[in-house]
Structure 1
């Protein structure tokens, strides 16, 4: 139940040609407090409820609990969320032995593209594609909960 991931900005959209899957995502936050974010997500035709704890000092690891919920319940819960629903498309790209989840944001966060990779340890090595830019793992501005309250277009 510990999520270990790194986040990177993305240079361009060349990753799209290598994507093996993509899904439109709408997500909102019932609580965006960093110590315990509670997220509602609709990904494709499925709903999810996720609880995340605060990140450790490196920003790479934190508690995460997620359960699939009926889509009609997720739609109703989205109506209860704090303002700032995140709208994005997630592209999944396999590089070496890992899958990068690349999120292209719309609406208030238009122009932002972030790639995430989940790891089994904080020291695990991985192949970096040429479309990766600056690492932003420990920059809380790039957390979705932050983006929902402080849109990228206002930076």
Structure 2
């Protein structure tokens, strides 16, 4: 069983872009979304597609299972989604001993920029880049699942000016 140990932060400015890769467009939606579990389909701009099952209540650690799937089947699964499709571009930014992922949201969440860092253990303390702002780990309104069911505007999400 795989464990996802991840922390999330708001991004305070655009300095990260100088360190980022070219990014990949992502469209994702939920096929199942419950309080303690979700089944998500994700389509990448480079042709890949994944199905991800996440289980657990904890903000920092959850069980996670990911499977590569056929891109055409993933497109078809979007028809069965609950909630809205989330659009974003994900950039990878190496910093210190960790690889940060920066999600720049589009659509109704345009302007929202979130930095995520996956950790080896709950005791792992990543070096904090100067472009990272307030931590939002555990704030449900910043979860992709919550954003799929809200408008973003009404949720009062922080947006990078």
Alignment of 1:135-146 (within 5 A): 135-146=135-146
Match of residue 47 from structure 1: 49
Q: Distance in 1 between matches of 2:12 and 2:151?
A: 20
Q: Is 1:124 equivalent to 2:124 in the alignment?
A: yes
- Which whole-Å CA distance do the structure 2 matches of 1:112 and 1:49 have between them? 24
Q: List 4+ stretches of structure 1 deviating above 2 A.
A: none
- What is the aligned residue count? 153
TM-score, normalisation: structure 2: 0.91
Residue of structure 1 equivalent to 2:20: 19
Cα RMSD between the aligned structures?
1.0
How far did residue 21 of structure 1 move? 4.1
Q: Secondary structure of 1:152's partner? A: coil
Structure 2 unmatched ranges of 5 or more: 156-161
CA deviation map 1:45-97 (0-9, x unaligned): 101000001232xx100000000001111110112111310000001000011
Distance in 2 between the 1:27 and 1:18 partners? 25
Q: Which moved more, 1:60-69 or 1:145-154?
A: 145-154
Counterpart for residue 69 of structure 2: 69
Find the counterpart in structure 2 of residue 100 from structure 1. Answer: 100
Gaps of 5+ in 1: none
Q: Which SS does the other structure have where 1:154 is aligned? A: coil
Q: Residue 41 of structure 1 contacts residue 74 of structure 1 at CA under 8 Å; is this kept in 2? A: yes
With 144-153 and 85-94 compared, the bigger mean Cα shift is at: 144-153
Match of 2:158 in 1: none
Classify the secondary structure of the residue corresponding to 2:147. helix
Q: Does the aligned pair in 2 maintain the 1:21–1:93 contact within 8 Å?
A: no
Equivalent-residue separation in structure 2 for 1:18 and 1:93 (angstroms): 6
